[in-house]
Amino acid sequence: MVFEFYPEVGLTRAELCDKISANMSDKRFQHVQNVAKSALRLAERWGYPEPRKAELAGLLHDYAKETTDETFIQLIDKYQLDPDLLNWNNNVWHGLVRIYKIQEDLGLTDPEITRAIEIHTVGSAAMSLLDKILYVADYVEDGRTFEGVDVARQLAYEQDLDAAVAYETVHTVAFLASKHVRIYPQTILTYNAYVEQLK
């Protein structure tokens, strides 16, 4: 199922894809299309009633990921976001901060979609069905090849979406720790809230 018009942004699919692809590399554009496809599949499997929103969240989730650090810093200031965000980097900012850029550029106001995009990198302790669909779709889309992706896909598409959230979070935390980089506190809250879903 592919939708031809997205009322949440007032654009046809072709217009939307033009805007998105103008803002990113071909490789990332392929990734966001894969995430949209995976989000649709998860919406169907787990009974999310608005598949168009799942697809749109997938298409928009990494919008303008190539935004400069300077622009992010200006947005943190302009919207008076938590100043602690200044201690982090693009990986953490591109969901939490970029949502304001998506709102500015596309007029997106739908609170379910903006929330899902906002937390797609770090998750949250209490995720809606759409939040989980986008978080997991980003991890299991067809282009991902990391070790364990088969287990993640089986949990996501077949067995248990909460367990898929947990699997992704456990592995992301372990990966970040192995690289000796700081872990954003909200990522730890997601870990604590979902880890026992794997038992």
Residue nearer to ligand GDP on the CB measure, 5 or 105: 105
Residue number with CB closer to ligand GDP (32 or 106): 32
CB of 85 or CB of 183, closer to ligand GDP: 183
* Positions 55 through 94 that interact with ligand GDP (CB under 6 A): 62, 91-92
Cα separation, 88 vs 19, whole angstroms: 28
Residues shown for the chain: 199
Identify which of residues 5 and 124 has a Cβ nearer to ligand GDP in the complex. 124
Residue 54 CA from chain centroid, whole number = 11
172 scored as a contact of ligand GDP (CB under 6 A): yes
Q: Which of 8, 138, 162, 168 is close enough to bind Fe ion by CB under 5 A?
A: 138
Contact partners, residue 40, CB within 8 Å, separation at least 6: 1, 51, 54, 55, 58
**Residue 115, C-beta contacts closer than 8 angstroms, at least 6 positions apart:** 128, 130, 131
Which stretch of DSSP H or E encloses residue 5?
Answer: strand 5-6
| Minimum CB–partner distance for residue 136 and Fe ion (Å) | 11
Instruction: Provide the binding-site residues for ligand GDP, judged by CB under 6 A.
Output: 62, 91-92, 120-122, 138, 172, 176, 181-184, 187
